[in-house]
Structure 1
Amino acid sequence: MSRFVDTMVATATSAEGRKRGMTTGEPHEPAHRTWAQVHEHATRIAGALGVDRGAAVAVLAGDPAEIAPAVQAAWLAGGSITMLHQPTARTDLAEWAADTLRVLAMVEARLVLLGAPFDALAGVLDQHGVAYRRIADLDGPPLTAPVPVGEGDTALLQLTSGSTAHPKAVRITHGNLWSNASAMRVAAKLDPEVDRMVSWLPLFHDMGMVGFLTVPMLFGIDLVKVTPADFLRGPTLWPDLISRYGGTITAAPNFAYAIAARRMANVDDGAYDLSRLRIALNGAEPIDPAAVRAFVDAGARFGMPAECVMCAYGMAETTLGVAFAPAFTGMAVDTVDPEALAAHHRAVPSTSPDARTFPLLGPPLPDLEVCVVDESGAVLGEREVGQLRVRGEAVTPGYLTVDGPVATRDATGWLATGDEGYLVDGQVVVCGRRKDVIIMGGRNIYPTDVERAAASVEGVRAGNAVAVRLDAGTRRERFAVVVESKHADDEEAVRDLSRKIITRVVDAVGLRPFAVVVLGPGSLPKTPSGKLRRSAAAALVP
């Protein structure tokens, strides 16, 4: 039997499940439902679903109040969940439909559960012969007991953040999900009696779906959930919700903390009370220590403890988490010699002004192991830089692709993460994605160093600078910098920006970019979850 489903049901039917739950609808129509009420609704949806055990069910909805009972219903019915990527106002619906059809065929989903605000896309699904049910219409006789499933059965098919034209889904089993959720509960010291989670993260991304829906639903933790659109319309809604609801746990990618820091700087003293925040997890993309410090400084005016920052490392292939920094210790960094790192692949401690700084991401979560290997697969020692590998119960057995299933683990159970990094004092440090590393004159240049330098130039949109490899794999390998700016149509401003970017990049990495390209807002290619696509950005360089 699935420990995950058993625990979810036990939580919902307990006294705690009748006390705690999720609040949705902020900022205009807040509504609270207990986990018991969510579960009761889920049993009625499950009774109306009419799917077989093992069925793949896709969900396209934006309202967390609809999504929570719908995904639980699929699990109660013995099925798996795939959260479809959501179209935006800029999305070409014909392309979106083609991509979605590829995904549905890949995961063998026979049914889409459709909810607001995407029920307006019913006509698009009809046009392409896609079977769907509106979540609001699903109301049948309650399912009296969960359909029995095993630990190896699929619970979640998490779409990766790569190209939607060549989709890939990580197959998360019930055993994977239970293991990682339990490990994160221990590492984050989650306490349902006192904790309250606040999140705007998208539910089609693993951090949102697993970390800020599945985990609180599983363990009965109070949750305040809004949508990414709510956050983008007014970023100060995030600290406002933490303040009004006494939030203790939140999480976001690095760019969101940078935005929050800037917006909070313009808010009057005393507007918020962030004193109860004990975990502000920063993950899902490279962590910029400067952005973290700016967030801590901005939050201090509202009583936010600096110790709440938790730097983390994770990926969908381990369900969500790989390593968490120790709870309530704040950001710790490792400062290393840039030349030894670039030329000799060693993280040598340094106190020089040009030293490279990496956040310490904590030890591996319980039941996970992390090692570092070189190109031949030989295990490296502490402070030796190579490819990170991870092994444990939370690691996916494989991907689903358009060409069929692909195994992820080697014969001894290790998953190659594709990340470059090292270990120090038992903690994980990530330097960057191996495929994005720029190699010039035998030196490894990490694109994040280039991007942070470029983004520090006034006029470059925060979080919208990308360093791309040119002529990758050849002796003439070069790199370019592509940025967004609202001044992209002003030739003189573009020349000035380019000069400043080149200067900052040379100061940071000692090398001059081959080209600097300045584009207007919204021009850089991104994944559905908002991550910059470096490889696609290379096509924008003349």
Structure 2
Amino acid sequence: MSRFVDTMVATAASAGGRVRGMTTGEPNSPTHRTWAQVHEHARRAAGALVADGVAPGAAVAVLAGDPAAIAPAVQAVWLAGGSTTMLHQPTPRTDLGEWAADTVRVLRMIGAELVLLGAPFDALAPVLDERGIRYRLLEALDGEPLAEPVEVPESSPALLQLTSGSTADPKAVRITHGNLWSNAQGMRVAAQLDPENDRMVSWLPLFHDMGMVGFLTVPMLLGIDLVKVTPADFLGRPTLWPDLISRYRGTITAAPNFAYAIVARRMAGVEADDAFDLSSLRIALNGAEPIDPAAVRAFVSAGERFGLRPECVLCAYGMAETTLGVAFAPVFTGMAVDSVDQEELAAGRRAVPSDAPDARVFPLLGPPLPGLEVQVVDESGAVRGEREVGQLRVRGEAVTPGYLTVDGPLATQDAEGWLDTGDEGYVVDGQVVVCGRRKDVIIMGGRNIYPTDIERAATSVEGVRAGNAVAVRLDAGTRRERFAVVVESRLADQEDAVRDLQKQISAKVVDAVGLRPFSIVVLPPGSLPKTPSGKLRRSAATTLVPAS
């Protein structure tokens, strides 16, 4: 039996489930549906799926834009005993031929025979028809309500979460019912979630784990009120985010670091001190990408005049391989940082405390969530001590048993159940610190240089777009390893301005890491390669650096 599905059904039938639910359609036509109403819709859709031949364990893909349509659709798949995969959504700039080819590759990889298609992507039905992909339109998915959920074991897949890599080389994280249950309960405890009083506000994409698990599945499972808009709504008007928190008295929100940097600038430009009221916010979770303390401080500074309490910032560490969360900083303590000696970190692989002006500053990401363990090991697998830098690995009930790849299943855990996160970091006073991705570390003169240090230095230069700088390794693995910096700027078409930017970026990088970039490339906005969820792709950016 699935504790996850049983709890979701019980929540919908509870008194709270008949009152609390999700509000969608902001800012033009907000509509509130209770979790009980979402469940009744899901039961009818599940009945149609079962009648259509969806069997226990079947993989069903979903492609839709409206959260109001997605919520009952994914719950219907779970009620029918299947697993859900949220397909990456094409954008106006997407080549539909390439997207269709990539989508077919994903569907074959996960073994899906059905796509649930909803607006605005129902217009892609002819593309699916051409390739023989079977689909059902969400608006027509209506059958006899399913009397009882289809029973599946805890080990059955519930979510096949596509990773943020290239869609041409897809990989899906296999999240079981047991994984989902465990991580949801761990986050409930760590974040002190209170279904009766909390209200979550989010614009995060539902094809990303933080949006899908954290800001749809968890509130639906636990019966927490949710206000949900789309990434396009946020990007079109970033101040919609604090506006929704103000009007709905939101208590919990989350976003990657770049979004806090954007909204900080927009709030700073608002003249009226009563434009927003952020005093209700108790958790503003920052995760999914490296956290820049300067961006957090800018967000706090810009929000304080609107009642934002600095203590609400919660720095977190997570990944799809643990369903979502790995570690949360303690609730309502704000951002805490660890300042360490830069040279000891780079050359000695030790995080030695330092208050020097050039000290490297890392956010403390909190202890592991209940049910998870985090360990630091060296390249031979030997456990490292406190403040010793090494490979981070994690173990626990929330950890995926494996990936699905185009070459077949791939196990994720070693014989003792440990998952290699691919990150470097250390532990101090029981809290996790992440230094960077191991594959992205730049090694020069025996020193380990983390690209995030270089990127933060570059984006501190006026004229460089926030969150749009990439440090890339050149001649990786050779004795003459070098690095380049690629940035976006609206000044990219002005020759003199570009030269000035390059000079300033070079100086800032030298100040930050003591090394000069081999090359600095300035490109117009929209040039840097990104994953479907918006993360910068460092390896792909290497092709943008002219050959020496």
TM-score (norm 1): 1.00
Shift of 1:146: 0.1
1:7 alignment partner in structure 2: 7
2:384 alignment partner in structure 1: 380
Aligned with 2:156 (options 153, 163, 173):
153
> Which amino acid letter does the alignment assign opposite residue 505 of structure 1?
V
**Structure 2 Cα separation of the partners of residues 265 and 314 of structure 1:** 29
Deviations 1:89-110 (A, max 9, x none): 1101111001100000000000
Shift of 1:489: 1.2
Are 1:111 and 2:114 matched, yes or no? yes
Are 1:134 and 2:103 matched, yes or no? no
Deviations 1:350-397 (A, max 9, x none): 011110000000000001000000011100000000000000000000
Shift of 1:53: 1.0
1:424 alignment partner in structure 2: 428
Are 1:477 and 2:481 matched, yes or no? yes
Q: Give the percent of matched residue pairs that are identical in Structure 1 and Structure 2.
A: 83
2:46 alignment partner in structure 1: 46
Shift of 1:58: 0.1
Structure 2 gaps of 5+ residues are none
1:393 alignment partner in structure 2: 397
1:534 alignment partner in structure 2: 538
**Structure 2 Cα separation of the partners of residues 382 and 188 of structure 1:** 25
**Structure 2 Cα separation of the partners of residues 305 and 457 of structure 1:** 28
**Structure 2 Cα separation of the partners of residues 127 and 460 of structure 1:** 43
Structure 1 runs, 4 residues or longer, greater than 2 Å off: none
Matches within 5 A, 1:286-365: 286-365=290-369
Are 1:279 and 2:283 matched, yes or no? yes
Are 1:266 and 2:284 matched, yes or no? no
Are 1:409 and 2:413 matched, yes or no? yes
1:510 alignment partner in structure 2: 514
Are 1:121 and 2:118 matched, yes or no? no
Shift of 1:253: 0.1
**Structure 2 Cα separation of the partners of residues 375 and 138 of structure 1:** 51
Are 1:210 and 2:210 matched, yes or no? no
Are 1:490 and 2:494 matched, yes or no? yes
Deviations 1:229-286 (A, max 9, x none): 0000000000000000000000000000000100001121011111010000000000
Deviations 1:445-480 (A, max 9, x none): 000000000001111111100000000001100000
> Which amino acid letter does the alignment assign opposite residue 5 of structure 1?
V
**Structure 2 Cα separation of the partners of residues 521 and 96 of structure 1:** 22
Deviations 1:488-530 (A, max 9, x none): 1111111111011000000000000000001111000000000
Could you say what secondary structure the match of 2:60 adopts? strand
**Structure 2 Cα separation of the partners of residues 176 and 139 of structure 1:** 30
Could you say what secondary structure the match of 2:520 adopts? strand
Shift of 1:20: 0.3
Shift of 1:431: 0.3
How many residues are paired up? 542
> Which amino acid letter does the alignment assign opposite residue 8 of structure 1?
M
> Which amino acid letter does the alignment assign opposite residue 221 of structure 1?
I
Shift of 1:151: 0.4
Could you say what secondary structure the match of 1:284 adopts? coil
Matches within 5 A, 1:49-60: 49=49, 50=52, 51-60=54-63
1:18 alignment partner in structure 2: 18
Are 1:36 and 2:36 matched, yes or no? yes
1:98 alignment partner in structure 2: 101
**Structure 2 Cα separation of the partners of residues 373 and 321 of structure 1:** 21
Superposition RMSD in Å: 0.4
**Structure 2 Cα separation of the partners of residues 113 and 402 of structure 1:** 22
Could you say what secondary structure the match of 1:12 adopts? helix
Could you say what secondary structure the match of 2:532 adopts? coil
Aligned with 2:78 (options 75, 78, 90):
75
Could you say what secondary structure the match of 2:153 adopts? coil
Could you say what secondary structure the match of 2:483 adopts? strand
1:242 alignment partner in structure 2: 245
2:455 alignment partner in structure 1: 451
> Which amino acid letter does the alignment assign opposite residue 523 of structure 1?
S
Are 1:521 and 2:529 matched, yes or no? no
TM-score (norm 2): 0.99
Aligned with 1:192 (options 192, 195, 200):
195
Deviations 1:402-429 (A, max 9, x none): 0000000000000000000000000000
**Structure 2 Cα separation of the partners of residues 25 and 234 of structure 1:** 15
**Structure 1 Cα separation of the partners of residues 408 and 377 of structure 2:** 28
> Which amino acid letter does the alignment assign opposite residue 22 of structure 2?
M
Deviations 1:7-62 (A, max 9, x none): 00000011110010000000000000000000000000011112111110000001
